[in-house]
A and B are shown apart, each in its own frame.
Chain A
Amino acid sequence: MIRLLPLLLPLGWRNLWRNPRRTLITLVVVAVGTWSVLIFAALFNALTTGSRDTTLRFLTGHGQLHAAGYLDDPSVSHSMAPPGPALRGALDAPPVAAWTGRVRVPAIIQSEYRTRSVTLAGVVPQNERTLSDLPKEVTEGRYLTGADDPGIVMGRDLAERLKTRIGKRVILMAQAADGHLAESGLTIVGLYAAGKPAEDEFVFTGLDTTQSMLGLGERLSEISFEVHDEGSLADVIAELRRAAPRLDVEPWMELAPLVYTIETFGRYYTAVWLLIMFTLMAIGLVNTQLMAVFGRRREFGLLQALGMRPRQIVLQVVLESALLVGVGVLAGTALALLTLAPFHQGLDLGFLAPGAEIMGESRILHPALGAAESLLYGAIIWLLAVGAALWPALSAATARPAAAMSR
């Protein structure tokens, strides 16, 4: 069969152009179908991973450590000591890419005009630059310069609600470690953009500043970490639990279950959508191939009369389909890559952004299609076409030559 490929491939290619209109229509259909599958996959990838990445790269990281009880009651009373040698060793081990300690407690912020409840996060800015995208999202003013920075960084939306701006002072109030109400006046040094829910909730100041304000000493509310390879996350979690058996160590899937559900749902939704698209394409291809074979029954009878075996007839028909769809898939893939190229910096959702931000999405989506993914989807469509050609091919090959040639 392999030795006949140099004969059947050129023959198949020439046969495709006996009916140029039908061939071109099929090519366009396959190309558009491939393009839509790839674009949808890229956009849905952007949505699901965007939501996930936004969450992980804001504060969550790949995992966190807390004192027992903190996740149920994230107050100053559930703080933990700074990491000891064992825990530090596990955090500094190679699978962990970066880690940082934070204080994170509920607080009240008061401007000249308004008062709102927020979550106060005391951070080490140098560490946050590795773990979080927040430093890059400061759109006005500056990010914090050090753990003892006396300034405060808040969301743009929060500043608007508080009717305040950069340079103004705000009062932060929170429960201190000894139970009394601590307060501190801080100057707004920066405003960040990160989606309304986050902008409304989180305010940031230096870790030392926060610990000092709350009388925590060196105690922390949480340690957040990132790993090099997510495949190693389960092992890292296990190692951290061994190193700090009294602490609550959780992966991001437990810390952000909604995001995890959206990502999982997104994967299955994509798979179902693609299955539907592939099925519809396959049906269309079967129909087209049946019509093509039906119109050439006499010719296939002739080929059998000349001595082509039935399985060689099957190969002939399948090759023609493979060639036709192969070209269509390549064209559709090239078109998809060209469509996505202008958006390599991101796709601004514009007026849709507020709605997306409610879902935890960034206003900028990054639709992208990996080489492996493009190859996979293209290969699936191509294989579907080959499979779809089998029934018409068998129909052509199993007809009696005399009956076929009498048509």
Chain B
Amino acid sequence: MTAIIQCQGVERTYTQGAVSVPALRGVDLTIGRGDFATLAGPSGSGKTTLLSVIGGLDRPTAGKILIEGRSIAELDAAGLAELRLHKIGFVFQSYSLIPVLSALENVEFILRLLGLPRAERLARARETLHAVGLTGLEDRRPARLSGGQQQRVAVARALAPRPAIVLADEPTANLDSGNAGELIALMQRLNEASGITFLIATHDARVIAHARRHIEMTDGRITLDERSSPAAA
């Protein structure tokens, strides 16, 4: 399995006045293309911070991060935005949909940033919403969607540009068990069908059970990294 994400001695320290808080302490991690990996650990262990620096939402204080073999330290803010647009999809815990856009428009938004022609982006947006089980709800704005439906839109938005990587931060945290189970199954199916690499920060045992690789963090360090046979989707 070729490496798609490589972290080499990654550190991230937050400083406020005289107080320094090390969130990541020398993380070494390689994620292979097509991997379905979970990242677990207690609150404050550094999971979200690690996803943020991998996705270019934050910069490490030290160390190196390579995406598809290219160091992201060379990229400026615009370059990181381009990387995210083309290579990385995000699914956040709080859905983070654009409230004034409908479900279809939220998914289409990224495709418009990519510059896809109208017919193609509409077709792909509808297709992606269909893949996440939201046919018939395209014209609803987030306020008129349930939590589970909003999270599905967020997943569709992350997947529509056909990224190489999806970084998900506690995607099932705000979902009931039914919706959480459906979301996990969806992500697993997409991983197996499209070869998209998933790295999911989660406490959810159901998500962990479906992962092929499980990583644990404590106090900014990786304490466990093991492969397993995932439960069926």
Which residues of A approach B to under 8 Å, CB–CB? 3-4, 7, 11, 14-15, 18, 298-299, 301-312, 398, 400-403, 405
Contact = CB atoms under 8 A, between A and B. Distances in A.
A312 B78 CA distance: 10
Contact of B78 (A306, A309, A400, A405): A309
Contact of B81 (A14, A304, A405): A304
B165 to A, nearest CB: 13
A182 to B, nearest CB: 88
B21 interface: no
A301 B81 CA distance: 11
Nearest to B108: A7
A310 B81 contact: yes
Contacts of B49: 402
Contacts of B78: 309-311
B103 to A, nearest CB: 15
A303 B90 CA distance: 11
A7 B111 CA distance: 11
Nearest to A298: B96
Contacts of A305: 55, 57, 84, 90, 92, 96
Contacts of A401: 52, 57-58
Nearest to B58: A402
B19 interface: no
B77 interface: yes
A299 B96 CA distance: 8
Contacts of B86: 307
Contacts of A309: 77-78, 81-82
B206 interface: no
Nearest to B112: A7
Contacts of B125: none
Contact of A398 (B57, B77, B114, B157): B77
B109 A7 contact: yes
A3 B117 CA distance: 11
B113 A306 contact: yes
B84 A306 contact: yes
Contacts, number: 74
Nearest to B115: A3
B3 interface: no
B84 A307 contact: yes
Nearest to B113: A307
A189 to B, nearest CB: 76
B10 interface: no
A4 B114 CA distance: 10
B145 interface: no
Interface in B79-114: 81-82, 84-86, 90, 92, 96, 98-101, 109-110, 112-114
Nearest to B96: A302
A5 to B, nearest CB: 11
26 contacts: A4-B113, A11-B101, A14-B100, A18-B99, A18-B100, A298-B96, A299-B98, A302-B92, A302-B96, A304-B81, A305-B57, A305-B84, A306-B113, A307-B81, A307-B82, A307-B114, A307-B161, A309-B82, A311-B78, A400-B58, A400-B59, A401-B58, A402-B52, A403-B58, A405-B57, A405-B92
Nearest to A306: B110
Nearest to A313: B81
Contacts of B101: 11, 14
A145 B30 CA distance: 106
B110 A307 contact: yes
A401 B53 CA distance: 10
B57 A307 contact: no
A312 B161 CA distance: 19
Nearest to B52: A402
Contacts of B55: 305
Nearest to A304: B81
B85 A306 contact: yes
Nearest to A7: B112
B30 to A, nearest CB: 22
Nearest first, the 3 A-B pairs at minimum CB distance are A307-B85, A402-B58, A14-B100
Nearest to B78: A309
A11 B84 contact: no
A293 to B, nearest CB: 16
Given A299-B98, A306-B90, A307-B85, A402 B113 contact: no
Given A18-B99, A312-B113, 14 more contacts: A4-B112, A11-B100, A299-B98, A302-B98, A305-B90, A306-B90, A307-B81, A307-B86, A307-B110, A308-B113, A309-B82, A310-B81, A401-B52, A402-B49
